[in-house]
Amino acid sequence: MKRVISVLLVLSSMIYASNMDKGKKQMEMFQSVPMKKATILQDGKAKMYCSICGMTLPMFYKTNHAATHDGHTKQYCSLHCLAEDKIKNGFDAKDIKVVDTKSLKFIDATKATYVVGSSKKGTMTMKSKYAFLNNQDAKAFAKENGGELMNFDATYAVASKALDKEMKMIGKKQAEMAKKGEMMYNKMCKKTDKKFASVAEAKAFVKSSNICGEMKGKKLQAVGLYLGRR
């Protein structure tokens, strides 16, 4: 009897571990890569965060874009944020680059083939956009995940057309998250009167100053949103 119970316990443990592994895999985002595999092109204390929305760049790395003006490089979590910077902020973006989904290297966006509207989740958009240097890689990705093949100009046009609607939707979610961030800030953090030019700058300060302890992930984003919009 004891042997039967022992076997059942072992089987239960194996099933539990298997389910935990499955759950972990389901939680992993397709866009994400480990920090060591992400190339960060921008400089400064806030270099690990999107220059527009403040999201952690490696977490959304496969949709990262970058652009340069007057020798200053900005890196974005998404084409949406690049379009927002160009259209709403008037950033004269030059030498636009995008991450090749296959190699994880930055490539010339004008030479990339994008797969638009695949089943893989997008970043800051309802219609995902993943780029490939090799056209055959893009075709293989689209065959497996759906989506339409487009060049950069066509893909940017899709992002630009949806920008206002997406900004409204994202703004609503960010406002809700900022409220949670305010509560966390008041409960968990030492107070600061410092003003921030962006969410990315606020997050970098919270991280480096340690005013909220070892804060990371969604909590850090929420507090950053609150401080950056305060």
In a domain, 92, yes or no: yes
In a domain, 188, yes or no: yes
Q: With bands split at pLDDT 50, 70 and 90, how would you rate the model's confidence at 15?
A: very low
Q: How high is the pLDDT of residue 163?
A: 98
**Residue 223 half-sphere exposure toward CB, CA atoms < 13 A:** 25
**86 and 153 together in one domain:** yes
**162 and 178 together in one domain:** no
**57 and 109 together in one domain:** yes
In a domain, 217, yes or no: yes
**195 and 95 together in one domain:** no
Q: With bands split at pLDDT 50, 70 and 90, how would you rate the model's confidence at 28?
A: confident
**155 and 182 together in one domain:** no
Q: Report the percentage of the chain scoring pLDDT > 90.
A: 87
Q: Which of 166, 199, 219 is the last residue of a domain?
A: 166
Please report which helix (H) or strand (E) contains residue 23, including its range: helix 2-27
Q: With bands split at pLDDT 50, 70 and 90, how would you rate the model's confidence at 2?
A: very low
In a domain, 69, yes or no: yes
Domain count, the chain: 2
Between residues 166 and 15, which one has the greater pLDDT? 166
Q: 177 vs 81, 112, 224, CA distance in Å? A: 18, 34, 10
Q: Are 50 and 200 in contact (CB under 8 A)?
A: yes
**81 and 56 together in one domain:** yes
Q: Report the percentage of the chain scoring pLDDT > 70.
A: 88
Q: How high is the pLDDT of residue 4?
A: 40
Residue 183: pLDDT over 50: yes
Residue 7: pLDDT over 50: no
Q: How high is the pLDDT of residue 91?
A: 96
Residue 171: pLDDT over 70: yes
Q: How high is the pLDDT of residue 6?
A: 44
In a domain, 26, yes or no: no
**156 and 82 together in one domain:** yes
In a domain, 13, yes or no: no
Give pLDDT tens digits for 63-120: 999 999 999 999 999 999 999 999 999 999 999 999 999 999 999 999 999 999 999 9
Give pLDDT tens digits for 130-166: 999 999 999 999 999 999 999 999 999 999 999 999 9
**79 and 42 together in one domain:** yes
Q: Distance (Å, rounded) from C-alpha 89 to C-alpha 109?
A: 21
Q: Distance (Å, rounded) from C-alpha 57 to C-alpha 40?
A: 8
**158 and 184 together in one domain:** no
In a domain, 96, yes or no: yes
Q: Which of 142, 166, 190 is the last residue of a domain?
A: 166
Residue 83 domain boundaries: 35-166
Between residues 183 and 21, which one has the greater pLDDT? 183
The maximal CA–CA distance of the chain, rounded, in angstroms, is 77
Q: Are 227 and 189 in contact (CB under 8 A)?
A: no
Q: Are 135 and 45 in contact (CB under 8 A)?
A: no
In a domain, 86, yes or no: yes
**199 and 125 together in one domain:** no
**201 and 155 together in one domain:** no
**198 and 215 together in one domain:** yes
